[in-house]
Amino acid sequence: MSVDRLTGIHFEHPLLLLALPPAVLAILVLARARVRAMPAGQRAATLALRSLIVTLLILALAEPTFGILRPFRNVVFAIDVSESVSQQQRDWTRAWVRQAIQELGPNSRVAVIEFGQWAQLAGSGSALPSGGETNLEQAITLARSALSSPESSAGEIVLLTDGWQTAGDAPRAMRRAAAGGVTVSYVPISLAGQQPPEVTVASLDVPPFARAGDLVDVAAVLHSTGQIAATLRVSLDDQVVSEQQVTLRPGINRVPVALRLPATGFHDILAAVVPAQDTRADNNSLVTSTVVKEPGRVLVLEHEPGQASRLVEILRADGLDVQVQPSSQIPPTTEPLTGYDAAVLVDTPATSLTLDQQKTLQLFVRELGRGLVVIGGQRSFGPGGYEGSTLDEMLPVSSRPPERPERSSVALFLVLDKSGSMASAWSNEASKLAMAREAAIQAVGLLQPGDVIGIVAFDSEYQWLVPTTRIENADTIRSIQDRISGLESGGGTSILPPLQAAYEAASRVDARLKHIVLLTDGQSSDRGYEALLRRMEQYQITLSTVAIGSDADTELLARLAELGGGRYHFTERSTQVPRIATQETSILIRSAVVESEVTAQPAASSPLLRSLPGELPTLNGYIATTPRQRAVTALETSQGDPLLAHWQYGLGRVVAWTSDASPAGWSSRWLDSGWPNAGLFWSQVVRWSMPAPVRPDFLVSAQPEPGGHRVLLRVESLREDGTFANGLDTRATIALPDGSAREVALPQRAPGVYEQTLAVEHPGTYRVLFSQRAGDQVIKEELATFSVPVPGFEGRTAGVNLVLLRQLAEGTGGRELRLPADLVASPPVARLEERLALWPWLLGAAALLFPLDVAARRLSWPARRVTTGSRSATLAGTAVPAPERERVGIHGDE
């Protein structure tokens, strides 16, 4: 229960208090001579009384008051009279307010305002026209002003409204009210008796721009006053493309529709709802429009010719402009790629790309805002040497395979060049042979019991430095490492014989994974590599190569790694050799390649999977990777390994598909025409990665305000160097629904920003051509469109917007009210401060003290002996000779 609260003492003229110390001091100085002959007690009493009287008089002149805060009701009722509120509802709200005022009683302070687009006090003399927009911000702002008074600025605002604002910013007004201690409560006008059933198409959310062939998400927002069954039809350019039965619940209903957009140009989209019951039909349909642009351009980069042929066929059938080229031809800069919206990198090892080429892809996505789809295969991700590379940094998955408690047995064969040239070194580095020895030692250290190791050293001839050996324990590893340490250089270079020996040894080993790593800095004139690699493939033996220095036969080694199913590495620093060798060993022992039948399971909601009905096909394999935290894993295996993942990278997007795209490979069922959704799946993957079909240097928008009576035309323009394009002649040519056209200038409002707000007189669809000129030359153009419905937004609401009303109440400590008694029963928010004047009491006290002052001066006090030299006298009781009276300071009766 609220109680009175004291606020202390206040002064109307506080500056007068500054005169108090000097006045008291003056009294003490002036009266001292007059009371000097008085006894000490009488003198002190007299001075104290005079000082107190003066103090009381000065305090009274300062007019002090005593403050008391008493709770009281300070309420403003705001009644909605906009177009969306019926006459029956207005009458009900006014009656509710009259009853609430009656129950609050005469000691409350109340006011009533009515609002639509504007707000004013009810009964102010000028009639507020009914209808129009709903501006809750205006209502709350005026109500706050009505609450303010010299006594109190706090209080309560009671909104009687349906909550559908079409103008202003109610949350902004709410924050200001909360800061001033004002609460906002609401009375939902749905309580105004039995309302007839009503369904409206409130809005139709359609992307303003799209590409030809895009499958876009359209959302029809329907308002309903009750549980109503209805049919929703969506038409594209007067052709019905979707029809579905919906059950609408009271309030807001959002119904999604996937719509494929056809050729370029302007397209009208209409949503119509046919309810079983409805009171009016003019708000049951709504038309909006969009601009469809050219389909995107895609560059497919394949490591081997023809390996992406089926994927290219699918994308072209979807309408995309697809170009194909070898991934080895990625340019060192992004300039040749600016004409593409996305790139697809198919089963390409990172080791086959230079650092500049990887940087090109990185800048293509991160700074140009384009898309990249990375498709797996035997030479991608972990097996492709992605780990630690620039390419891996871009991916929504980490190329490092997850650690497994179980793994397949491994057979690793190292073929090390120990020719005379390996004894040399660059700069102050250790020799190439020393680094090769260190590489072998570190690689062996990564092996585990059960693995097999073999090391062949060669120059013009070869020898088994470590014959085929199965690791038993740590002692085995140390023994092998000791033998590696004694390797010395000498002789020429002959690669084929040691490679042949390693193959023959590997073919006799029983191991799930067999891998050969060749390290050399020289060239060899041997022939017959292709035949050897074909035999290796039969035994599933893979080969990676490491070219140490530019003197190595880099072309041969790259070709051997490609045909051998491994990775090609090139380094001009001998110190990098151990890292490369351990990386190869790590890839091998972690067994990134998973070849078995795999079921793809949805892991998270993703736009890449929309409109894919039924079960997904199985896969025959994939590359094991690790998901990244910020990425969305759309599909995964039963073990939790990512199959399809995507994320935003800089300004662009990157998608990773960890299986392959080969018609005869792991994903054959996903590319087969037998799966009816193959085209939809692959086109959605690629199209999602593309940027929006707008010019980033010339962003335009035509946005009607909620009421539909005005539209904001806006342009954001940049120059080629990324700076703001200022001071340019910017215009908008508007094609009106009646076929006429109008050109308006868009003045500059901010750096690079040009905008203008226009009144819209007629409903219908408007087309806008934005242009920018430098002199007489048009340098930029862009299209846009917008629609103004009939009736406006006010006629498209049904029921009560409880979401907004609850937001306003919760943000200010208000609540929902149903009966006037709910308002009366709640504790008052405001307190009225009453001031009690203290100056009459101070004057009265001063008047009462004045006779006491006179009495204190005239009253006889007990005698006191005064000694003056050798003589004495008695004061206040004995006559004293005149000279003695002069000496003791007695002057007359005072």
Reading phi first (left if > 0) and then psi (alpha if -120 to 50, else beta), residue 621 is in left
Residue 658 has pLDDT above 90, yes or no: yes
Q: Which residue has the tokens 């069922």?
A: 669
pLDDT of residue 884: 42
Mean pLDDT of the chain: 85
- Helix/strand number for the chain, H first, E second: 20, 46
Mean pLDDT computed over 193-213: 86
- Residue 27 pLDDT > 80: no
Q: What type of residue is 211?
A: R
Secondary structure (3-state) at 819:
coil
User: What is the rounded distance in angstroms from the CA atom of residue 841 to the CA atom of residue 131?
Assistant: 59
Distance CA 603, CA 606 (A): 9
pLDDT surpasses 90 at 751 = yes
CATH topology of domain 297-402+594-689: Rossmann fold (3.40.50)
Region of residue 132 (phi > 0: left; psi between -120 and 50: alpha; otherwise: beta): left
Only one residue has tokens 């590319």, namely 671
pLDDT at 880 over 60: no
What is the reported pLDDT for 866? 46
CA 278, 282, 286: angle at the middle one, nearest 5?
Answer: 110
In DSSP terms, which residues pair with 64 in a beta bridge? Answer: 11
Instruction: Give the per-residue pLDDT at 124.
Output: 61
Backbone dihedral angles phi then psi of residue 274, each to the nearest 5 degrees: -120, 95
Nearest C-alpha neighbor of 300 from the set 331, 334, 355, 340: 340
Other CB atoms within a 10 A radius of the CB of residue 71 amount to 16
Lowest mean pLDDT among 167-181, 628-642, 841-855: 841-855
Domain 199-287 shares a fold with domain 297-402+594-689:
no
Q: pLDDT tier at 245 (50, 70, 90 boundaries)?
A: very high
- The residue behind tokens 């097996």 is 383
Task: State the Cα–Cα distance between residues 638 and 621, nearest whole angstrom.
Answer: 13
What's residue 354's pLDDT?
87
Task: Name 492's Cβ contacts closer than 8 Å, sequence gap at least 6.
Answer: 419, 420, 459, 460, 522
Rounded Cα distance, 859 and 437, in Å: 122
Burial class (CB in 10 A: 0-12, 13-18, 19+), 240: exposed
d(CA 38, CA 889): 10
* Per-residue pLDDT, 5: 56
Choose the weakest-confidence range: 168-172, 606-610, 623-627, 859-863: 859-863
Average confidence (pLDDT) over 530-556: 87
Structure tokens at 547: 């070219």
Contacts of 269 (CB under 8 A, 6+ apart): 204, 206, 218, 234, 235, 236, 259, 287, 288, 289, 290
DSSP character at residue 152 = -
CATH class given for the domain over 410-590: alpha beta
Asked if pLDDT for residue 114 goes beyond 60, the answer is: yes
Single out the residue of 770, 672, 691, 670 nearest to residue 725, CA to CA. 770
pLDDT classification of 569: cutoffs 50, 70, 90: confident
Nearest alpha-carbon partner for 758 in 749, 745, 771: 745
What's the pLDDT at 626?
A: 93
pLDDT digits (tens, 9 = 90+) for 346-379: 999 887 888 899 999 999 999 999 999 999 998 8
Q: What is the pLDDT of residue 564?
A: 85
Please give the average per-residue pLDDT across 194-203, as a whole number.
82
**pLDDT over 90 at 661, yes or no:** yes
Q: pTM of the entire structure?
A: 0.70
Confidence of residue 627 (pLDDT cuts 50, 70, 90): very high
> Whose CA is closest to 395, among 750, 215, 647, 606?
647
Radius of gyration of the chain (CA): 46
Q: What is the pLDDT confidence band of residue 659, given thresholds at 50, 70 and 90?
A: very high
- Residue type (1 letter), 324: V
627: alpha, beta or left? (left if phi > 0; alpha if psi -120 to 50) = beta
Block residue for tokens 């650092």: 355
Structural element, H or E, at residue 94: helix 87-104
CB-based contacts of 35, cutoff 8 Å, min separation 6: 42, 43, 46, 47, 857
Task: Report residue 871's pLDDT band, with 50, 70 and 90 as the boundaries.
Answer: very low
CATH architecture of 698-791: Sandwich (2.60)
SS3 content of the chain, % helix, strand, coil (to 5): 30, 35, 35
Listed as own residue / partner, the contacts of 676-682 with beta carbons closer than 8 Å and 24 or more positions apart are 677/612, 677/613, 677/614, 678/314, 679/314, 679/317, 679/318, 680/215, 680/611, 680/612, 681/608, 681/609, 681/612, 682/311, 682/314, 682/315, 682/318
Domain boundaries, the chain: 5-68+838-861, 74-188+799-827, 199-287, 297-402+594-689, 410-590, 698-791
Look at 56-60, 468-472, 584-588 and tell me which has the smallest mean pLDDT: 584-588
User: CB count, 10 Å around CB of 51?
Assistant: 17
Residue found under tokens 């198919």: 346
Beta bridge partners, 797, equal none
Using H for helix, E for strand and C for coil, what is the string for 182-210? EEEEEEEHHHCCCCCCCEEEEEEECCCEE
| pLDDT tier, 863 (very low <50, low <70, confident <90, very high otherwise) | very low
* Whole-angstrom distance, CA of residue 324 vs CA of residue 305: 9
Q: Which two tokens stand for residue 375?
A: 């498709």
- Span 299-336, pLDDT tens digits: 999 998 999 999 999 999 999 999 999 999 999 999 99
Count other Cβ atoms within 10 Å, centred on residue 652. Answer: 23
What is the pLDDT, as a whole number, of residue 785?
95
Rounded distance between C-alpha atoms, residue 701 and residue 694, angstroms: 11
- DSSP calls for 418-453: -SGGGG--STTSPPHHHHHHHHHHHHHHT--TT-EE
Candidate from 2-16, 209-223, 534-548 with smallest mean pLDDT: 2-16
The rounded distance, in Å, linking the Cα atoms of 419 and 185 is: 89
User: Rounded to the nearest 5°, which phi and psi values hold at 608?
Assistant: -70, -15
pLDDT band at 18; cut points 50, 70, 90: confident
pLDDT of residue 64: 84
Of 2.60.40.10, 1.20.1260.10, 1.10.1020.10, 1.10.1840.10, the CATH number of 199-287 is 2.60.40.10
Residue 408: what pLDDT? 65
74-188+799-827 placed in CATH 3.40.50.410: yes
Query: At residue 711, what are phi and psi to the nearest 5 degrees?
Result: -135, 140
Per-residue pLDDT, 859: 65
H or E segment at 577? helix 577-590
**Which helix (DSSP H) or strand (DSSP E) does residue 101 occupy?**
helix 87-104
